[in-house]
Amino acid sequence: MVKPPFAHMAVYGALAIGGASYGTWALVNSTVGYPYQLWFIDMMDSTAVKAYEQPMRTLPEGVVSRTSYRGNIDRALPDGTVNPAADALTNPLTLDDAAIKKGEWGYQTYCAPCHASTALGVGPVTDNSNGKKRFPIPGVALVGATGALKLRSDGYVYATIRNGGALMPAYSWALSDQEIWSIIGYLRTLPESTYVPPVPTTGAGEG
Ligand code: HEC
Protein backbone atom coordinates (compact mmCIF):
# COMPACT_ATOMS: atom_id res chain seq x y z
CA MET A 1 0.00 0.00 0.00
CA VAL A 2 1.25 3.42 -1.00
CA LYS A 3 2.02 5.66 1.95
CA PRO A 4 0.08 8.95 1.71
CA PRO A 5 2.40 11.94 1.01
CA PHE A 6 1.99 13.47 4.45
CA ALA A 7 4.70 16.06 3.95
CA HIS A 8 3.06 17.40 0.75
CA MET A 9 -0.37 17.37 2.35
CA ALA A 10 0.95 19.41 5.24
CA VAL A 11 2.47 22.00 2.93
CA TYR A 12 -0.63 22.28 0.73
CA GLY A 13 -2.83 22.38 3.79
CA ALA A 14 -0.83 25.22 5.30
CA LEU A 15 -0.93 27.10 1.98
CA ALA A 16 -4.71 26.64 1.80
CA ILE A 17 -5.23 27.92 5.32
CA GLY A 18 -2.87 30.84 4.71
CA GLY A 19 -4.55 31.69 1.44
CA ALA A 20 -7.99 31.60 3.00
CA SER A 21 -6.85 33.86 5.85
CA TYR A 22 -5.26 36.28 3.41
CA GLY A 23 -8.41 36.30 1.30
CA THR A 24 -10.55 37.01 4.35
CA TRP A 25 -8.29 39.88 5.38
CA ALA A 26 -8.27 41.26 1.88
CA LEU A 27 -12.07 41.10 1.73
CA VAL A 28 -12.41 42.75 5.12
CA ASN A 29 -10.04 45.48 4.07
CA SER A 30 -11.68 46.22 0.79
CA THR A 31 -15.16 46.34 2.32
CA VAL A 32 -14.88 47.38 5.95
CA GLY A 33 -11.50 49.10 5.76
CA TYR A 34 -10.04 50.95 8.69
CA PRO A 35 -9.97 50.25 11.72
CA TYR A 36 -9.78 46.54 10.91
CA GLN A 37 -6.84 47.01 8.62
CA LEU A 38 -3.58 45.96 10.09
CA TRP A 39 -1.20 45.88 7.20
CA PHE A 40 -3.16 46.91 4.13
CA ILE A 41 -2.65 50.59 4.76
CA ASP A 42 -2.87 52.28 1.41
CA MET A 43 -3.75 55.75 0.15
CA MET A 44 -7.32 54.72 -0.52
CA ASP A 45 -8.27 53.80 3.02
CA SER A 46 -6.52 55.92 5.57
CA THR A 47 -7.52 58.21 8.39
CA ALA A 48 -6.79 61.25 6.23
CA VAL A 49 -9.72 63.48 5.42
CA LYS A 50 -10.77 62.85 1.86
CA ALA A 51 -11.53 65.51 -0.67
CA TYR A 52 -14.93 67.15 -0.09
CA GLU A 53 -15.49 65.05 3.03
CA GLN A 54 -15.69 68.15 5.21
CA PRO A 55 -15.55 71.88 4.61
CA MET A 56 -12.08 73.42 4.68
CA ARG A 57 -11.18 74.71 8.08
CA THR A 58 -10.43 78.41 8.16
CA LEU A 59 -7.04 79.39 9.55
CA PRO A 60 -7.00 80.80 13.06
CA GLU A 61 -6.60 84.57 13.28
CA GLY A 62 -2.98 85.69 13.06
CA VAL A 63 -1.54 82.59 11.41
CA VAL A 64 -0.79 84.40 8.15
CA SER A 65 0.98 87.65 8.84
CA ARG A 66 -0.29 90.39 6.59
CA THR A 67 1.19 93.35 8.39
CA SER A 68 3.68 94.08 5.64
CA TYR A 69 1.68 92.60 2.79
CA ARG A 70 1.42 95.08 -0.04
CA GLY A 71 0.10 92.96 -2.83
CA ASN A 72 1.74 93.02 -6.18
CA ILE A 73 2.13 96.72 -6.57
CA ASP A 74 4.08 97.27 -9.77
CA ARG A 75 6.25 100.32 -10.10
CA ALA A 76 4.62 101.35 -13.37
CA LEU A 77 1.08 101.47 -14.68
CA PRO A 78 0.29 99.61 -17.91
CA ASP A 79 0.95 102.83 -19.87
CA GLY A 80 4.48 102.97 -18.45
CA THR A 81 4.00 105.93 -16.13
CA VAL A 82 4.97 105.72 -12.45
CA ASN A 83 2.31 103.94 -10.40
CA PRO A 84 1.14 106.46 -7.76
CA ALA A 85 0.24 103.61 -5.36
CA ALA A 86 3.84 102.37 -5.44
CA ASP A 87 5.24 105.88 -5.36
CA ALA A 88 3.31 106.67 -2.18
CA LEU A 89 4.80 103.83 -0.11
CA THR A 90 7.22 104.97 2.56
CA ASN A 91 9.95 103.15 4.44
CA PRO A 92 8.37 101.73 7.62
CA LEU A 93 11.71 100.86 9.24
CA THR A 94 13.60 102.73 11.90
CA LEU A 95 16.86 103.14 10.04
CA ASP A 96 19.32 102.54 12.84
CA ASP A 97 22.80 101.10 12.41
CA ALA A 98 21.51 97.52 12.53
CA ALA A 99 18.98 98.16 9.76
CA ILE A 100 21.57 99.90 7.57
CA LYS A 101 24.02 97.03 8.11
CA LYS A 102 21.34 94.53 7.11
CA GLY A 103 20.61 96.65 4.04
CA GLU A 104 24.27 96.70 3.11
CA TRP A 105 24.37 92.92 3.37
CA GLY A 106 21.27 92.62 1.16
CA TYR A 107 22.62 95.09 -1.37
CA GLN A 108 26.04 93.45 -1.62
CA THR A 109 24.43 90.01 -1.95
CA TYR A 110 21.62 90.66 -4.42
CA CYS A 111 22.26 93.96 -6.15
CA ALA A 112 26.01 94.47 -6.42
CA PRO A 113 26.41 91.80 -9.15
CA CYS A 114 24.60 94.13 -11.57
CA HIS A 115 24.77 97.61 -10.01
CA ALA A 116 28.34 97.32 -8.60
CA SER A 117 29.35 97.22 -4.94
CA THR A 118 29.56 101.02 -5.04
CA ALA A 119 26.11 101.23 -6.68
CA LEU A 120 27.77 103.34 -9.38
CA GLY A 121 26.74 101.06 -12.20
CA VAL A 122 28.93 98.35 -13.65
CA GLY A 123 29.06 95.16 -11.61
CA PRO A 124 30.63 91.84 -12.60
CA VAL A 125 27.45 90.68 -14.35
CA THR A 126 26.91 93.88 -16.34
CA ASP A 127 30.56 94.41 -17.21
CA ASN A 128 30.53 94.09 -20.99
CA SER A 129 34.02 95.48 -21.47
CA ASN A 130 36.61 93.74 -23.65
CA GLY A 131 33.94 92.23 -25.84
CA LYS A 132 32.36 90.31 -22.95
CA LYS A 133 28.62 90.07 -23.35
CA ARG A 134 27.09 89.07 -20.08
CA PHE A 135 23.97 91.11 -19.55
CA PRO A 136 21.94 92.62 -22.42
CA ILE A 137 22.44 96.21 -21.21
CA PRO A 138 25.23 98.01 -19.35
CA GLY A 139 25.05 98.46 -15.59
CA VAL A 140 22.63 101.07 -14.32
CA ALA A 141 24.02 103.54 -11.75
CA LEU A 142 21.86 103.87 -8.65
CA VAL A 143 23.82 106.66 -6.96
CA GLY A 144 26.31 109.29 -8.06
CA ALA A 145 25.96 111.94 -10.75
CA THR A 146 23.81 109.84 -13.08
CA GLY A 147 22.25 107.68 -10.35
CA ALA A 148 18.62 106.59 -10.54
CA LEU A 149 17.90 107.10 -6.82
CA LYS A 150 17.76 110.90 -7.17
CA LEU A 151 14.82 110.48 -9.51
CA ARG A 152 13.06 107.69 -7.66
CA SER A 153 11.02 107.64 -4.47
CA ASP A 154 11.50 104.93 -1.84
CA GLY A 155 8.16 103.42 -2.84
CA TYR A 156 9.14 103.20 -6.49
CA VAL A 157 12.46 101.56 -5.62
CA TYR A 158 10.63 99.17 -3.28
CA ALA A 159 8.30 98.13 -6.09
CA THR A 160 11.26 97.73 -8.46
CA ILE A 161 13.09 95.41 -6.07
CA ARG A 162 9.98 93.48 -5.11
CA ASN A 163 8.41 93.04 -8.53
CA GLY A 164 11.23 93.80 -10.93
CA GLY A 165 11.58 96.28 -13.74
CA ALA A 166 11.75 96.19 -17.51
CA LEU A 167 14.90 94.07 -17.40
CA MET A 168 15.68 93.87 -13.73
CA PRO A 169 14.51 90.62 -12.10
CA ALA A 170 12.08 90.67 -9.17
CA TYR A 171 13.55 89.87 -5.77
CA SER A 172 10.44 89.10 -3.71
CA TRP A 173 11.44 85.44 -3.78
CA ALA A 174 14.69 86.19 -1.97
CA LEU A 175 14.09 89.27 0.15
CA SER A 176 11.48 89.94 2.79
CA ASP A 177 9.77 93.31 2.94
CA GLN A 178 12.02 94.25 5.85
CA GLU A 179 15.13 93.35 3.89
CA ILE A 180 13.97 95.32 0.87
CA TRP A 181 13.31 98.44 2.95
CA SER A 182 16.65 98.07 4.72
CA ILE A 183 18.41 97.93 1.33
CA ILE A 184 16.66 101.17 0.38
CA GLY A 185 17.72 102.66 3.71
CA TYR A 186 21.30 101.63 3.01
CA LEU A 187 21.27 103.04 -0.53
CA ARG A 188 20.04 106.41 0.78
CA THR A 189 23.19 106.66 2.93
CA LEU A 190 25.39 106.60 -0.20
CA PRO A 191 26.49 109.83 -1.91
CA GLU A 192 24.04 111.55 -4.26
CA SER A 193 21.21 109.22 -3.43
CA THR A 194 18.61 111.63 -2.03
CA TYR A 195 15.29 111.67 -3.84
CA VAL A 196 14.42 115.00 -5.38
CA PRO A 197 10.71 114.88 -6.23
CA PRO A 198 9.78 116.38 -9.59
CA VAL A 199 8.46 119.93 -9.46
CA PRO A 200 4.76 119.83 -10.34
CA THR A 201 4.12 121.35 -13.74
CA THR A 202 0.75 122.81 -12.72
CA GLY A 203 -0.41 124.20 -9.41
CA ALA A 204 -1.15 127.25 -7.33
CA GLY A 205 0.19 130.52 -8.69
CA GLU A 206 0.26 129.38 -12.28
CA GLY A 207 -1.87 130.58 -15.17
C1 HEC B 1 20.45 90.96 -13.06
C2 HEC B 1 20.89 92.30 -12.92
C3 HEC B 1 20.27 93.15 -11.82
C4 HEC B 1 20.24 92.91 -10.47
C5 HEC B 1 20.81 91.72 -9.74
C6 HEC B 1 19.60 94.05 -9.87
N7 HEC B 1 19.24 94.94 -10.83
FE8 HEC B 1 18.43 96.78 -10.51
N9 HEC B 1 18.34 97.08 -12.51
C10 HEC B 1 18.82 96.23 -13.48
C11 HEC B 1 18.52 96.78 -14.77
C12 HEC B 1 18.88 96.13 -16.09
C13 HEC B 1 17.87 98.02 -14.57
C14 HEC B 1 17.35 99.01 -15.61
C15 HEC B 1 16.14 98.52 -16.33
C16 HEC B 1 15.00 98.25 -15.42
O17 HEC B 1 14.56 99.15 -14.71
O18 HEC B 1 14.55 97.10 -15.42
C19 HEC B 1 17.78 98.17 -13.13
C20 HEC B 1 17.23 99.27 -12.53
C21 HEC B 1 17.22 99.50 -11.16
C22 HEC B 1 16.76 100.72 -10.55
C23 HEC B 1 16.27 101.97 -11.26
C24 HEC B 1 14.88 101.85 -11.72
C25 HEC B 1 14.45 103.08 -12.47
O26 HEC B 1 13.51 102.93 -13.25
O27 HEC B 1 15.01 104.15 -12.29
C28 HEC B 1 16.89 100.55 -9.20
C29 HEC B 1 16.55 101.55 -8.12
C30 HEC B 1 17.46 99.22 -8.99
N31 HEC B 1 17.65 98.62 -10.21
C32 HEC B 1 17.76 98.71 -7.77
C33 HEC B 1 18.23 97.42 -7.57
C34 HEC B 1 18.40 96.82 -6.27
C35 HEC B 1 18.19 97.54 -4.95
C36 HEC B 1 18.82 95.54 -6.48
C37 HEC B 1 19.06 94.46 -5.45
C38 HEC B 1 17.90 94.02 -4.73
C39 HEC B 1 18.93 95.35 -7.91
N40 HEC B 1 18.56 96.50 -8.55
C41 HEC B 1 19.38 94.18 -8.53
C42 HEC B 1 19.45 95.04 -13.26
C43 HEC B 1 19.63 94.44 -12.04
**Which comes out higher in pLDDT, residue 53 or 140?**
140
**Going by CATH, does the domain composed of 84-187 fall within 1.10.3090.10?**
no
d(C-alpha 180, C-alpha 90), whole Å: 12
Ligand 1 centre and the CA of 199: distance in Å? 25
Pocket flag, ligand 1, residue 99 (CB < 6 Å): no
- Banded pLDDT at 41 (limits 50, 70, 90): low
Q: What pLDDT, on the 0 to 100 scale, is given for residue 131?
A: 80
**Among 14-28, 48-62, 155-169, where is mean pLDDT lowest?**
48-62
- Identity at 94, one-letter amino acid code: T
- pLDDT given at position 171: 93
**Ligand 1 atom showing the smallest separation from residue 137 Cα:** 12
* 115 within ligand 1 shell (Cβ under 6 A): yes
110 Cβ below 6 A of ligand 1: yes
pLDDT score of 32: 65
Q: According to CATH, where is 1.10.760.10 located in the chain?
A: 84-187
Distance CA 165, CA 179 (A): 18
